[in-house]
Structure 1
Amino acid sequence: MLYNKRYFAIILILLLTGTTSCKKWFDLKPSDGIVNEDYWKTKEDVHAAVIGAYASLLGDPAGSDSRDLSEILFLWGELRADMLAPSTGTKAEDYEVMNMNTSPANTITDWKPLYRTINYCNTILRNAPEVMNLDKTLTQDVLNGYLAEAKSLRALLYFYLVRSFGDVPLKLEPTTSDDEIVTLPKSTQQEVLQQILADLNDAESKALLTYGAQASDKGRITRYTINAIQADVYLWMEQYNDAITACNKVINAKKFGLISGSTAWYNTLYYSGNSNESLFEFQFNKQKINNFLYMFYNVKRFVASTVVMDQVYSTESFNKDIRGDGASVRAADNLIWKYVGKNDKDVRATDEAYAHWFVYRYADILLLKAEALAQLKTETACTEALNLVYTIRQRANALPSTDNAPSAVDFDGVARFVLEEQAREQMYEGKRWYNLLRFAKRNNYAHLDVLLDLVSVTVPLNMMNSAKAKIRDYNSHYFPIYQYELQTNKSLVQNPFYK
């Protein structure tokens, strides 16, 4: 089993870098993935450590976690939202989250896989600079590129954490083992967000624009990925002009575009992956498959909510939104299709269960910019926002029945139209809950109604009043701290709603 884990990771390195020099990472690192100080001797060691951090996104190097990071990000971004429905394989802990009744004992709230990769990044940031004293062929520019990747990956994972938990421990120094207990209190969400921006802004000028190969450019963080994260963070922080500026850096680079909505659209974007539309994807492959085929097809842990085809995409006899039936869902039985289909009709074979996990793609950038523009609340900005939305709708052949056609002076209508288009475009890509929460909390929760409406369509009738009462408490919008963390780290305090 250990050989197989090393093998898939080495294959990942070959895909990302086209070199065999990184095998040393897997030969020398301990089983928990932490590299000790004796390892850091050459530039190849640094390179291997960086690629190892990316490899950890695909699963626990020690094999102790049954849930890989893409599954966690899916659950965090979709379970509390409105596009999933329970099925025959739904677990009790899934029901808890879906019904707004999450307990600290629920393993879905276990943040260990994110902090594990954060620790790898911290290890790189501490040890890599010293290698320049030992290996004179490691240049400052090359080192800066590696450090930019580590800082940006750490920032991305902290961004997931603050959106999911609110206040979280801000750990910037490495530990020597995944299981080493560090008694670290929580930092405020604002403090963590400021650290995220500091890391991203420092990394931006040092990050590479390209690694010279398509798989590397999509599987490793480039400067464009950093701009995408910046835009997302600024939008969360309601800094709309900064978000627009970050989006424009990606758009104006003219390196990306929307894949044409032709018959090859699904295969190019989702089945094959690493298309011109992609900015950053988790690079699963035949040597390292993910859990999605098992989750959505074999055991049917979740299916699509009936609103997905009835209302989000809508249906017509001889016309369809290409993102709906045969792309995001299989309309005949509401099967979640995006990660299990090899085309619009056939299911992936077991050895093809390597659908990539999208972190950012070009359509996301256009929608982030549209959302920020809508919040400027001017006719000019909202006109531009609508143009971006219609660009995406045209590619997708979105149906007239889902076109709200808001006026450019209907500022709230434009903002809601963007939110609805995000649902269609980003279906099951782990973004729905964050989109809803970001919209709801804006201007001191001026739009709490979107979360109350969510409860009305997702929570059983006998639990609805309780769920709505919880939603009205803003602290409930963040997960509880997992009970194991509270038991082992006495400096942690449970999130307020769950005390």
Structure 2
Amino acid sequence: MKSIKRHLFKLATATMLTFSFVSCDKFLNVEPVDSLSGNNFWKDVNDAETFTLEIYRLFRESALLKGPYFIMGELRNAPVRKTLSYPNRWDIQYAAEGNVPRLAYEVRPTPGTDANRFWTYNVEWDILDDWTPFYKVIQGSNILFENIDRLAKNDPSISSNIIQAYQAEAVYMRCLSYFFLIRLYGDVPYYTNANNSTPLPRLDHVQVAKNCIAELEKIKDKLPWTYEEPANRGVRAMRGSVLALMMNLYMWMAGFDEPNETSYYQKVDALGDELVQQGMNSAQAYELIPLNRMDEIFQGRSRETLFEIPNSVNYQGFVSANSRKMIPFYVLDGFMVNLNQDKVNSELAYSPEYLKEIYPEGVADGRKGVWFDDSNWLSGDGKFRFYKFLNFEFKGANSAENYGNSITIFRMAESILLQAEANGKLGNEEKAASLLNLVRARAEATLYPGNGYDNINEAIYYERCKELMGEGWYFFDIVRSKKIIDIKYVSRPMSYSMFQAGAWTWPIDRKALTNNPYMKLNYWNQ
């Protein structure tokens, strides 16, 4: 592929292309502006590059700027609490209780009024019900996939490898968007044509995942393991990005299609072997970064990252710690540039009982010393600290800029633990333990079976809780594993009947019903 001249974090200076929904006459019909389909476009690689970068920008907007998606994944039904330092942060309590109606439908006050409902104005939980932003990414991906062939007609010198690489990126971004959609809403409309004009029903989310896997299987070898330009590493689709997404889709299917779970676990194991043996060992594109350098992961474009959303103080739309969309704001409100600990109070604290569960007493683990304050990590109050994502190297004039890190979606440690989980379910305890211990060794932690758990499946689950804390995996993990209905794992479990009825989903905006006789909403707004 032609070398990329513009870094993604400088995309604001590139030509911005837009997609618009036709709101009334056709459901999910995203029509491109004339310039995208006319003869004045798709003439050369620069057109394809500009269009492709716009798709990545739209995804960043959908997942990061259009509502607290990652906070929802981290806090819903989670072992967290609001602290006495911030008694008005009822959103934290409602999220932990799984109180979706309060989060989604609470009337938001006028700015400057009713301080006890501060959260309803500042935390935009209610806009999560709009799936339009993700469908803009999907439609843009469909347009790219179908129109990229024009390049070969206009410029015979453009190789088929270039065409296939752009099409692979289009498929990846489309399927990644569907992965986010099914975890949030369950069943969703599925389409891959560029100019859809037919009203669509919601398709079973397991079938959506199957469709995406079939798409990804065709293109996974069309992308490089990594890019020569470090600026593109992790922020553009790579072969490892595709493998990680496929593994997660298979694990999602295993949670809801139990008669076929064994075959799904086997697929995850095979993909994990490909990722580790080729991506890490042969191609040496990826690695588990040592504990004393783990801040590199969240600063962005690291060799552990498989896919991330770029976030930098140099990027238009920079999401800082005080955006209330990411964990750092909650655990270090008003973080001071001079790191004056006495002036910092956290809005949120993880339950001390939960922390003791995932970090058994007497078991060595280097993450405790790096990510927490020894004196406050079990306080359960405003003195709780969690430094995992803080960029201590940046000394901006604005204290919020100390959080100038990218948002990790997939990384090697997550994929390795997913493969370990699949092997544990298959009864391959020796291989599962070996994979688990790759992550624990990097964490300078006692290796399994000496890590405080007698059962390999328990050990892997709690390892994901530790390693991925704050990255937005908690809720989706307890949903696909059905631990959300088990009080052994969740202090505020969901009833089995509610789970079966789809209460694990988020409400869908009622505008989805407009002129679509096939559309039905989900548990929360039928």
* CA distances 1:374-412 after superposition (whole Å, capped 9, x unpaired): 1112xxx11111122122222213369992342xxxxxx
Q: Relative to structure 2, which stretch is displaced further, 363-372 or 299-308?
A: 299-308
1:327 and 2:371 correspond: yes
Q: Check whether the contact 2:391–2:404 (CA below 8 A) recurs between aligned residues.
A: no
The amino acid of 2:15's aligned partner reads W
User: What CA distance in whole angstroms lies between the structure 2 residues aligned with 1:470 and 1:439?
Assistant: 16
CA distance 1:396–1:347, change in 2 (3 Å): farther
Q: Which residue is 2:80 aligned to?
A: 84
- Residue 80 of structure 1, CA deviation: 1.8
Percent identity reads 21
User: What CA distance in whole angstroms lies between the structure 2 residues aligned with 1:154 and 1:110?
Assistant: 17
CA distance 1:433–1:13, change in 2 (3 Å): farther
Alignment counterpart, residue 473 of structure 2, candidates 431, 435, 440: 431
Alignment counterpart, residue 416 of structure 1, candidates 436, 458, 467: 458
Matches within 5 A, 1:45-56: 45-56=47-58
Alignment counterpart, residue 375 of structure 1, candidates 400, 425, 428: 425
The amino acid of 1:223's aligned partner reads R
User: What CA distance in whole angstroms lies between the structure 1 residues aligned with 2:434 and 2:221?
Assistant: 30
Q: Check whether the contact 1:266–1:344 (CA below 8 A) recurs between aligned residues.
A: no
Alignment counterpart, residue 385 of structure 1, candidates 404, 419, 432: 432
Q: Which residue is 1:266 aligned to?
A: 294
- Residue 301 of structure 1, CA deviation: 5.8
Q: Relative to structure 2, which stretch is displaced further, 415-424 or 231-240?
A: 231-240
1:100 and 2:142 correspond: no
After superposition, the CA RMSD in angstroms is: 3.6
The amino acid of 1:397's aligned partner reads E
CA distance 1:17–1:311, change in 2 (3 Å): closer
CA distance 1:86–1:471, change in 2 (3 Å): farther
> If the length of structure 1 is used for normalisation, what is the TM-score?
0.78
User: What CA distance in whole angstroms lies between the structure 1 residues aligned with 2:395 and 2:9?
Assistant: 34
CA distance 1:480–1:294, change in 2 (3 Å): closer
* CA distances 1:191-225 after superposition (whole Å, capped 9, x unpaired): 21121112211111222233312231211111111
User: What CA distance in whole angstroms lies between the structure 2 residues aligned with 1:223 and 1:338?
Assistant: 27
CA distance 1:341–1:312, change in 2 (3 Å): farther
Q: Check whether the contact 2:391–2:405 (CA below 8 A) recurs between aligned residues.
A: no
Matches within 5 A, 1:151-300: 151-174=171-194, 183-238=199-254, 239-253=264-278, 254=281, 255=284, 256-262=286-292, 265-270=293-298, 272-288=299-315, 289-295=318-324, 296=329, 297-298=332-333
Q: Which residue is 2:28 aligned to?
A: none
1:15 and 2:7 correspond: yes
The amino acid of 2:287's aligned partner reads G
The amino acid of 1:161's aligned partner reads L
Matches within 5 A, 1:447-486: 449-450=485-486, 452-453=487-488, 455-456=490-491, 459=492, 468=495, 471=498, 473-486=500-513
Alignment counterpart, residue 357 of structure 2, candidates 296, 311, 325: 311
CA distance 1:145–1:437, change in 2 (3 Å): same
Query: SS state of the match for residue 337, structure 1?
Result: coil
Query: SS state of the match for residue 358, structure 1?
Result: strand
Q: Which residue is 1:9 aligned to?
A: none
Query: SS state of the match for residue 389, structure 2?
Result: coil
Query: SS state of the match for residue 133, structure 1?
Result: helix
Query: SS state of the match for residue 314, structure 2?
Result: coil
Q: Check whether the contact 1:266–1:343 (CA below 8 A) recurs between aligned residues.
A: no
CA distance 1:275–1:15, change in 2 (3 Å): same
User: What CA distance in whole angstroms lies between the structure 2 residues aligned with 1:107 and 1:93?
Assistant: 14
User: What CA distance in whole angstroms lies between the structure 1 residues aligned with 2:80 and 2:397?
Assistant: 20
Q: Check whether the contact 2:73–2:473 (CA below 8 A) recurs between aligned residues.
A: yes
Q: Which residue is 1:353 aligned to?
A: 403
CA distance 1:364–1:314, change in 2 (3 Å): same
Q: Check whether the contact 1:75–1:108 (CA below 8 A) recurs between aligned residues.
A: no
Alignment counterpart, residue 160 of structure 2, candidates 128, 134, 140: 140
* CA distances 1:251-295 after superposition (whole Å, capped 9, x unpaired): 012222211223xx233233x332222211211122222143443
- How many pairs align? 446
Q: Check whether the contact 2:501–2:523 (CA below 8 A) recurs between aligned residues.
A: no
Q: Give unmatched runs, 5+ long, in structure 1.
A: 1-11, 407-412, 441-446
User: What CA distance in whole angstroms lies between the structure 2 residues aligned with 1:399 and 1:208?
Assistant: 35
CA distance 1:402–1:183, change in 2 (3 Å): farther
CA distance 1:172–1:310, change in 2 (3 Å): same
The amino acid of 1:322's aligned partner reads G
User: What CA distance in whole angstroms lies between the structure 2 residues aligned with 1:497 and 1:31?
Assistant: 27
* CA distances 1:436-461 after superposition (whole Å, capped 9, x unpaired): 12222xxxxxx6653x34553xx5xx
Q: Check whether the contact 1:322–1:397 (CA below 8 A) recurs between aligned residues.
A: yes
User: What CA distance in whole angstroms lies between the structure 2 residues aligned with 1:348 and 1:194?
Assistant: 46
Q: Relative to structure 2, which stretch is displaced further, 393-402 or 272-281?
A: 393-402
The amino acid of 1:198's aligned partner reads A
The amino acid of 1:394's aligned partner reads A
> If the length of structure 2 is used for normalisation, what is the TM-score?
0.74
Q: Relative to structure 2, which stretch is displaced further, 241-250 or 35-44?
A: 35-44
- Residue 498 of structure 1, CA deviation: 4.3
Q: Which residue is 1:58 aligned to?
A: 60
